Structure 1
């Protein structure tokens, strides 16, 4: 079960909070609320009913609290803006409307803390809660420090953490000191500091540090999750007395974190819209941006061809369908009963099937998340047995390989068990990672890097494709110069690892969370750029690059690195052609002597090279269209004169080149006209008989159908139209 939390934010709304100080362009209140909104929106995103929030307004225009209603003095200009309870998007919107600077300065911060303390005690009773009060103020209004000891005692008795964050408060540890501070503010800082010091769990900080640390991602604390509770066996205890059986528990050690997923919503009917006929609204509603939305449930209908049914199709129930698997060009249906026979019937088990030496295992075989295996709690026999097994593995320097089935019917896994005898950390356990099955391993063979094997079998150690000694040394020097292992510095200034594992965050996850929090609090504002801490390790340090510049330049020179010209895309005619690195005139080499006229015809015997050459030398649309037409006619003639399917492959190869070149010229509609005419000729028998196999196998099978708008924005063909076009 998740921890219960009760947090009350005491926010100073006094008239002084509307002023801007220390060169800031936003008021003290807006600047402070950056921190408050970030914390509250994080609670909203967690969506836990046990994480409750309350808000108290200090120096508000009116007074609304239980202490004042009971006739107690000193609680003026303090209002309970939100009672403690779960916070939602709707309550967040209500809070935003109420957090505004007031015209008052008569509230007392210590009294506001007492109001928050009473709210927490009343809500949490004696139950187990993490209790917290966060006071945000600039310290300009008067504070009565006479009851500090009593208030601190009550906070300690209730086990409440007090966090005071002051706007422009002095903080020697952070390195901030406000110049020209008023005497009243300096006195209030001392009073609040004294209150925090007397609390057993108190923190006093400056708002500058709090706002700066908002960019640091917050790591989600995850409680241990028990994935398995049963026996770890070696042999079959039911058959052999010598078999080993230890009662163990398995917990996740690492777990893959993912970015928050999106949900589909639809405008509620009573807010100007309604669900379509293919959707159904759910009971849960959410308030976003002042508009009510509902979740969307997808509903599908299945139809089959039926000449006797209206429209030629009839609806069928999902239960009547069977899964079909493609076998060649035939679909083989398998019923649910037949499919059940393919499933492996398994029983919950954790069985050791072998051992391998440390030296025989390669780390790249690891698959997925690691877990930890420990003895069952309060079971001395299991603890002793597992400890002996762990130390035995450690002494013989071997891993255990086990077959693991989490529960009955679950697919089996092969796990590698690594012993941890607790010699360094005092924690005895087995760490495990999943291993691949034989079908999961793909072995690829690559040519050697240190030699070139010729066709005759000779091995050459000196070749133009092999690096010479000077190039190897230059690369080695460059790698050494870019070493990050000691580029960082520790607290004492000594060289240390540049990339610390606890400072390495997943940019995708935390960037999405940042965007969600920003949009939740400020629906109309643009999302700020990613925090620098997320981008810190996405590029090498500038100082290190500058330090290694000489090695980089030497490597570039020895490797003869040259920039590859960008490939021209979407050009109609050959204008400003890129000059080859060799300096040769390719047109002259391919087109004949200088001054010879451009190619205007395409020979069927050499269609592809001549087609491409004609397009490269085209100077107007007329020549381009002529090339398209000639190539299309050559394709049609190949199909028409083909004996059976002898020339089908050649025709489809020509068609593929035609499609590729037309796409490069951003003229998809020209290709779509050609392929439509070709399909009509094939299906109507114009090309000397039944040529349907050419269409289904060599055109549709190779993906040479219509060019869709997804492939090229200039196309007017949708994906649905392209799919329908494939049918003969």
Structure 2
């Protein structure tokens, strides 16, 4: 279980905090609140009720705190009592955290109010207690009784962090020029206060600069398996080995937070979650419902709903279905017992890295089991000494499919363990074969060692030099490696989190730029580019690389059939090419007239679009006037002709644009009600988007498949 925390933010909102200093376009308060909001929104994103936050303002226009009977605590207000911080609290605190019209209010008294807030809330319970004091140091700070405050902070184990706007910091390299005397005095007092209670004192600019560095979430280790690692059968043989072990994840894929679908709900009642109320409107989570149907002519719409409990599993066997009833379903379960059984050993050099089938895990001895620790340590050292891996049959839970894993020894100065990774079965292995790169085989079977597709020795030497010049493993001029594991972050994961936190507190402001630390590895280091430029220039010259002007893709043209007589039928009938293009397609003879229109000699993309639009409109009209599914087949056949012609002539965009419009009409129920059954018919006959080059309006296979989703 995560530790409980109680954090209080004490923010100076005096009149001077509304001023602009150090050439900033923001006020001092807005500048400081960047840090406060980032900390608060990060706490909100954790979603833990045990992470409590309180907000106090001093130098406010009014007084609202538990000690307000004493005049020393005037102009101090509690904006948010300690408790879970939710989005409605963000809106409320945003309204309160604005520069006031007064400079009255004591910062040390506000610190006392914060201590009292924590003591009242936490009582004698175990909490991680923290207070953050944010100020510009231009207000009042009464030092009377400061020793008692320090003693109370220590006795309550409250960590204090003091962040000042434009405070001097030699380590950070900042010093405010022409500093007012009262501010310099306040800085000295607060610096001594932080030292006395072993707290932190810094200028807030440094804290804000650190915000761009992603904070990696600490994950508590959770065992994925607790059991035995055996060699031999302990139940049959006394010489068999059995070690009590625990298995924990070592590497896991970090994924960005996923979005959920919500709908704006009523402002009052209606079961709206108050924690998700934003700007007076509540959000209701959208729940998906699945309906199972079977064809039934007697049922409305020709389909009958059935319960999930009435269904049974069936397995395809050729073109038939083999049903398995719930009673006999156990025959398909492969009965296994949980455990790790060593089946053999292999040399480490024979193991190929492409065998990896999963994330890695670590195997350690059972906690507080010295005998298991000694036994596992012996196995680890033996594997390391003989440079071998153990091959293990692993079953995680009862009746779960067994997998094969490899155990590799890992020895570090203060830690040792086994690292496991899943191995492929023969069904998982894909031995793809590709033609060699250093030879070319002709159609006659002759093998060539010299060809324009085969690099020469000079090219290989130049390429090797170029690769060496771009080697990132060489230390840079300052002696540090360019890439370290501790400084590599997932750009997508942290950028999404940054945007969510920022949008929560700035719903209408433009999004902040991507931090440089996330873009560090998006481009090669400039010094390496300069270092490798001579090598790449030599390589370009040796390989005779030239820029090729892109050629516009030409459309296919279909040669029109000519009559055996050689006569021009259109000319005999008095039909010009322009008339063929301008003719309107009638529904009674749509297919023939459509093909005639697009076959004109001067039929360009505009003509193709017009003809396709007319055919789609005819299909819409057929569906609109259809009684049940009477006209569905005819409408579908019209679209099938258009799709075939546009695909053959490579006008992918013409079909795709019209088909996207049709989807909106069908799903929007603009074709005289719900015609989703016709849409399913189009899907069944695979009349979807055309796949092809994107420059011609085509889509790839993934987009074509996803298009059918609602």
Band of TM-score, shorter chain: 0.7 to 0.9
Match of 2:150 in 1: 152
Gaps of at least 5 residues in structure 1 are: 275-280, 575-597, 606-618, 627-631, 637-654, 656-660, 681-693
- State the distance in 2 between where 1:503 and 1:387 align: 32
Q: How many residues align?
A: 635
Following superposition, the deviation at residue 713 of structure 1 comes to 5.8
Stretch moving more, 702-711 or 206-215: 702-711
Following superposition, the deviation at residue 264 of structure 1 comes to 1.6
- State the distance in 2 between where 1:357 and 1:622 align: 77
- What is the aligned counterpart of 1:433 among 406, 409, 421? 421
- State the distance in 2 between where 1:519 and 1:176 align: 31
Contact 2:612 2:642 in 1 (8 A): no
Is 1:724 the equivalent of 2:708?
A: no
Contact 1:285 1:293 in 2 (8 A): no
Is 1:218 the equivalent of 2:206?
A: no
Contact 1:402 1:414 in 2 (8 A): yes
Is 1:443 the equivalent of 2:414?
A: no
Stretch moving more, 128-137 or 140-149: 140-149
Please give the secondary structure, in 2, of the residue aligned with 1:712: helix
Contact 1:65 1:80 in 2 (8 A): yes
- State the distance in 1 between where 2:288 and 2:115 align: 47
User: Alpha carbons of 1:708 and 1:90: their partners in 2 closer, same or farther (altered >3 Å)?
Assistant: farther
User: Alpha carbons of 1:157 and 1:537: their partners in 2 closer, same or farther (altered >3 Å)?
Assistant: same
What are the residue-to-residue correspondences of 1:150-549 with 2, within 5 Å? 150-200=148-198, 202-270=199-267, 286-323=276-313, 335-337=325-327, 340-420=330-410, 422=411, 424-455=412-443, 457-486=445-474, 488=476, 493-494=478-479, 496-549=480-533
Is 1:712 the equivalent of 2:657?
A: yes
- State the distance in 2 between where 1:63 and 1:604 align: 99
Match of 1:629 in 2: none
Deviations 1:625-677 (A, max 9, x none): 99xxxxx88x99xxxxxxxxxxxxxxxxxx9xxxxx98997678279669989
Match of 1:3 in 2: 3
Following superposition, the deviation at residue 352 of structure 1 comes to 1.3
Following superposition, the deviation at residue 447 of structure 1 comes to 1.3
Deviations 1:553-603 (A, max 9, x none): 22222222233444536x8x89xxxxxxxxxxxxxxxxxxxxxxx996357
- State the distance in 2 between where 1:356 and 1:600 align: 66
User: Alpha carbons of 1:602 and 1:479: their partners in 2 closer, same or farther (altered >3 Å)?
Assistant: farther
Please give the secondary structure, in 1, of the residue aligned with 2:169: coil
Contact 1:162 1:203 in 2 (8 A): yes
Contact 1:667 1:714 in 2 (8 A): no
Gaps of at least 5 residues in structure 2 are: 565-576, 585-590, 599-603, 624-636, 667-675, 686-710
Contact 1:669 1:715 in 2 (8 A): no
- State the distance in 1 between where 2:618 and 2:231 align: 66
Following superposition, the deviation at residue 2 of structure 1 comes to 0.8
Following superposition, the deviation at residue 416 of structure 1 comes to 1.4
Please give the secondary structure, in 1, of the residue aligned with 2:405: strand
User: Alpha carbons of 1:50 and 1:710: their partners in 2 closer, same or farther (altered >3 Å)?
Assistant: farther
Stretch moving more, 4-13 or 403-412: 403-412
Is 1:19 the equivalent of 2:25?
A: no
Contact 2:395 2:401 in 1 (8 A): yes
Please give the secondary structure, in 1, of the residue aligned with 2:68: helix
- State the distance in 2 between where 1:323 and 1:698 align: 39
Match of 2:67 in 1: 67
User: Alpha carbons of 1:567 and 1:711: their partners in 2 closer, same or farther (altered >3 Å)?
Assistant: farther
- State the distance in 2 between where 1:392 and 1:624 align: 86
Match of 1:136 in 2: 134
Deviations 1:250-278 (A, max 9, x none): 11222221111111212224569x8xxxx
User: Alpha carbons of 1:62 and 1:235: their partners in 2 closer, same or farther (altered >3 Å)?
Assistant: same
Stretch moving more, 156-165 or 432-441: 432-441
Following superposition, the deviation at residue 188 of structure 1 comes to 0.7
- State the distance in 2 between where 1:357 and 1:215 align: 46
Following superposition, the deviation at residue 194 of structure 1 comes to 0.4
- State the distance in 1 between where 2:161 and 2:655 align: 54
Contact 2:19 2:27 in 1 (8 A): yes
Contact 2:266 2:272 in 1 (8 A): no
- State the distance in 2 between where 1:93 and 1:6 align: 21
- State the distance in 1 between where 2:345 and 2:355 align: 16
User: Alpha carbons of 1:708 and 1:287: their partners in 2 closer, same or farther (altered >3 Å)?
Assistant: farther
Please give the secondary structure, in 2, of the residue aligned with 1:105: coil
Following superposition, the deviation at residue 161 of structure 1 comes to 1.2
- State the distance in 2 between where 1:359 and 1:603 align: 70
Please give the secondary structure, in 1, of the residue aligned with 2:219: coil
- State the distance in 2 between where 1:604 and 1:267 align: 66
CA RMSD, 1 decimal: 4.0
Match of 1:41 in 2: 41
- State the distance in 2 between where 1:477 and 1:664 align: 55
Please give the secondary structure, in 2, of the residue aligned with 1:245: strand
- State the distance in 2 between where 1:211 and 1:74 align: 32
Is 1:558 the equivalent of 2:527?
A: no
User: Alpha carbons of 1:564 and 1:365: their partners in 2 closer, same or farther (altered >3 Å)?
Assistant: farther
- State the distance in 2 between where 1:504 and 1:212 align: 18
User: Alpha carbons of 1:197 and 1:727: their partners in 2 closer, same or farther (altered >3 Å)?
Assistant: closer
Match of 2:109 in 1: 111
Match of 1:591 in 2: none
Q: What is the TM-score of this pair, normalised by structure 2? A: 0.80
- State the distance in 2 between where 1:536 and 1:111 align: 45
Stretch moving more, 261-270 or 229-238: 261-270
Please give the secondary structure, in 1, of the residue aligned with 2:368: coil
Contact 1:666 1:714 in 2 (8 A): no
User: Alpha carbons of 1:138 and 1:674: their partners in 2 closer, same or farther (altered >3 Å)?
Assistant: closer
User: Alpha carbons of 1:123 and 1:519: their partners in 2 closer, same or farther (altered >3 Å)?
Assistant: same
Following superposition, the deviation at residue 402 of structure 1 comes to 1.4
Deviations 1:434-464 (A, max 9, x none): 2222222211111112222445554432221
Deviations 1:375-406 (A, max 9, x none): 11221211111111111111111111112222
Contact 1:167 1:206 in 2 (8 A): yes
Match of 1:669 in 2: 612
Please give the secondary structure, in 2, of the residue aligned with 1:477: helix
User: Alpha carbons of 1:324 and 1:708: their partners in 2 closer, same or farther (altered >3 Å)?
Assistant: farther
User: Alpha carbons of 1:624 and 1:535: their partners in 2 closer, same or farther (altered >3 Å)?
Assistant: farther
Contact 1:306 1:314 in 2 (8 A): yes
Match of 1:587 in 2: none
Contact 2:229 2:244 in 1 (8 A): yes
Please give the secondary structure, in 1, of the residue aligned with 2:520: helix
